Amino acid sequence: MPEKKNIVITGATSGIGKALCEHFAKDNIVYAGYRNEKLVEGLKSISHNIVPFYIDFKQIDSIAFAANFIKVKAEHVDCLINVAGCVVAGAIENIDIKKIKEQFEVNTFGHLDFTQRLLPFLDGGRIINISSKSSFGIFPFVSPYCASKRALDIMFNSLLLETHRDIKVISVKPGVIATPLWGKSIEENKENIDAAIGFEKELDYMLDSARKNETYGLDVMEVVKVVEEAAENPNPKSSYTVGWDAKLAEIVSKLPQDWINKLIKAGMKAKFNRAKQNRLKEQAVSENTQAV
């Protein structure tokens, strides 16, 4: 039997991170990051190979504690998978700047801080970041999220280019995946949505899409398959997309900025108008039903 590897996964309590824990804990020791105590038992019940550790990227001190915990327990890390993430969305004109900073704390700076601390233990290993198709930077009304993922990719690609260590760095960029992220995003962005006066039509469309994405997105196992490839392939690519929508975003992102903007504006106009017409139809049906 091959020796068990030490794998560290943040954001292990839900969606993609949880699915990765379930997959990798079959044959490896998985250090699984949580921020909510209530979810620890659930993590432990996945496998006796799971070692939960506390990390909350909004609590900066917890990052050093978490890295120290792993250093003491593991001695060597074969694979660090940075998964934890959240979404800050809204109209960029009026999103509170504090929320935008928080977006970067969780999706970007936290991962970099944690990774820097574990680097001496990662020699011969690999770092896999769960980035996003949003890293291609073409989506309005989620620009803090896009920018946080782009910044993550830029800094970790720089790490790959600069490091003297034997470490592979890989970015996995999923498109829409069916996870609880979408519902959480609606909850966590209520303030931004209320503040977006004049953008009601646009945000209505965004909310409607988010609700659908949670059910109709790709299955989380599609991400697991790609991460497995990134973790096992002796010569992994530095960037993988998951899903046709991520591939399309990559292609579009290569066009000149003005062309991208024209495409996005035309797409938005069509989608927002369609959403408005659907809403009017639904209203009419409901009014007719009430009249009957």
Ligand X SMILES: NC(=O)c1ccc[n+]([C@@H]2O[C@H](COP(=O)([O-])OP(=O)(O)OC[C@H]3O[C@@H](n4cnc5c(N)ncnc54)[C@H](OP(=O)(O)O)[C@@H]3O)[C@@H](O)[C@H]2O)c1
According to DSSP, the residues that pair with 81 across neighbouring strands are 9, 128
36 near ligand X, rule: CB under 6 A: yes
Residue whose entry in the numeric block shows the structure tokens 């949580």: 34
Residue range at the interface with ligand X (CB under 6 A); choices 9-17, 153-161, 194-202, 225-233: 9-17
Contact 136, 249 (CB under 8 A): yes
86 near ligand X, rule: CB under 6 A: yes
Q: Give the count of alpha carbons within 13 A of 78, CB side only.
A: 13
By CB under 6 A, what part of segment 56-85 binds ligand X?
56-58, 83-85
Closest CA to 128 of 230, 28, 53: 230
State which residue, 116 or 277, has the beta carbon closest to ligand X. Answer: 116
Binding residue for ligand X, selected from 20, 55, 196, 226, defined by CB under 6 A: 55
Q: How far is 42 from 170, CA to CA, in rounded Å?
A: 28
Residue range at the interface with ligand X (CB under 6 A); choices 35-43, 193-201, 255-263, 270-278: 35-43
8 near ligand X, rule: CB under 6 A: no
11 near ligand X, rule: CB under 6 A: yes
Helical spans, DSSP H, in 164-254: 181-188, 190-195, 200-216, 220-232, 244-253
17 near ligand X, rule: CB under 6 A: yes
At residue 26, φ and ψ (nearest 5 deg) are: -65, -40
Q: Which two tokens stand for residue 292?
A: 């009957």
Residue range at the interface with ligand X (CB under 6 A); choices 64-72, 163-171, 176-184, 250-258: 176-184
Q: Which residues bind ligand X (CB under 6 A)?
A: 11-17, 35-36, 39, 55-58, 83-86, 106, 130, 132, 174, 176-177, 179-181, 184, 217
